[in-house]
Amino acid sequence: MSDNRHADGRAGIDAALVRRLVAAQFPQWSGLPVEPVEVDGWDNRTYRLGPDMTVRLPTGPTYALAVEKEHRWLPVLAPRLPVEIPEPLGLGRPGEGYPHHWAVRRWIDGQTADPSRIDDMTAFAEAVAGFITALQAADPTGGPAGGEHSFQRGADPAHYDAQTRETLRELEGRVDTAAAARVWEAALAARWTGEPVWFHGDIAQGNLLTRDGKLAAVIDFGTSGVGDPACDLVIAWTMFEGASREAFRRAVAQDEATWARARGWAIWKALLLVSWDHAEAQASRRVIDAVIAEHEALR
């Protein structure tokens, strides 16, 4: 999910537009049926193209920055990772009144990582950690440094300092803002000094696909890049708890400064979702409580 609650360029993107774009730019696929996917995202609209492909259209110019990046780098990363990732099949150009580049990808079978479908959450947490560490081990040479295209994932969380402090003021009396501020200050103080590595940028339930209850694929590399990997640890609080959180922590093997920055990323986004009264606000309150409890225990 993006960081802009107001951005919605989905109007005007529909199956008819996809059919026109495919017919104009990929005529070899023009006879295939086009249908919206059952579970769609915010930053992009996705459609099935026949039985084996998808078409993915960004909903705005910032999200469109990812299209050519993913087309360039997904094939480089795929052989180095332990599970499937999207396979680019075509790079579409602006046309038919649609202003952005767009993508044709191979369809990946799987279900989003709902805990009810996962028999062993500890083993699943270890598998997610294995994906993250394999991604970090991939050669970062020439990879895109964290910045606008990644919504600052991989860069210094201080980019969101003013926004976070404003959100804390808005939430005074609704959450423990003093404790949340301590988490944020600790994240800013734990400066990243390591060598750049690959990060995904949005390791979340909706981007993890399962088959038979096991991790089968990781999708949506739109916020990926090269830099500080702390942002990829946020799932420790958004999906895992207890034994699975500890298993993830052990398996991902990051230093405490990285965990401090990760707590900052987690509480920044959770505070925003609560302030927006987002559908995920209740879950975000649990994230805030868990992150604060962990930080306070270290004091």
Say if 144 falls within a structural domain: yes
Distance CA 75, CA 18 (A): 24
pLDDT per residue as tens digits for the range 29-80? 999 999 999 877 778 999 999 999 999 999 999 999 999 999 999 999 999 9
pLDDT of 2 reads 42
pLDDT of 299 reads 82
SS (H, E, C) 31-50: CCCEEECCCCCCCEEEEEEC
Give yes or no: residues 165 and 267 share one domain: yes
Kindly report the number of other CB atoms within 10 A of residue 117's CB atom: 14
Among candidate residues 108, 133, 156, the one where a domain is terminated: 108
Among candidate residues 65, 81, 108, the one where a domain is terminated: 108
| 3-class SS of residue 84 | strand
pLDDT per residue as tens digits for the range 235-292? 999 999 999 999 999 999 999 999 999 999 999 999 999 999 999 999 999 999 999 9
pLDDT of 10 reads 58
The mean pLDDT of 96-116, rounded to a whole number, is 96
Say if 151 falls within a structural domain: yes
Question: In the predicted model, is pLDDT for residue 230 greater than 90?
Answer: yes
281-298 helix and 256-275 helix, angle to the nearest 10 degrees: 150
Question: In the predicted model, is pLDDT for residue 186 greater than 90?
Answer: yes
Give yes or no: residues 117 and 65 share one domain: no
16-21 contacts: CB < 8 A, separation 24 or more?
17/57, 17/96, 17/97, 17/98, 18/47, 18/49, 18/55, 18/57, 20/96, 21/55, 21/92, 21/95, 21/96, 21/98, 21/102
Among candidate residues 108, 123, 144, the one where a domain is terminated: 108
Question: In the predicted model, is pLDDT for residue 13 greater than 50?
Answer: yes
Task: Please tell me the pTM assigned to this model.
Answer: 0.94
Say if 61 falls within a structural domain: yes
pLDDT of 11 reads 58
Give yes or no: residues 131 and 54 share one domain: no
Residue 159 φ then ψ, to 5°: -55, -30
Question: In the predicted model, is pLDDT for residue 1 greater than 60?
Answer: no
Question: In the predicted model, is pLDDT for residue 90 greater than 50?
Answer: yes
pLDDT of 136 reads 98
Give yes or no: residues 122 and 60 share one domain: no
Give yes or no: residues 197 and 283 share one domain: yes
Question: In the predicted model, is pLDDT for residue 6 greater than 90?
Answer: no
- The CATH number of whichever domain residue 54 belongs to comes to 3.30.200.20
- The CATH number of whichever domain residue 293 belongs to comes to 3.90.1200.10
Domain, as residue range, for 37: 15-108
Domain count, the chain: 2
DSSP 8-state assignment for residue 199? E
pLDDT of 5 reads 38
DSSP 8-state assignment for residue 206? G
pLDDT of 209 reads 97
pLDDT per residue as tens digits for the range 146-180? 999 999 999 999 999 999 999 999 999 999 999 99
pLDDT per residue as tens digits for the range 190-201? 999 999 999 999
Say if 203 falls within a structural domain: yes
pLDDT band at 9 (very low <50, low <70, confident <90, very high): low
Give yes or no: residues 208 and 266 share one domain: yes
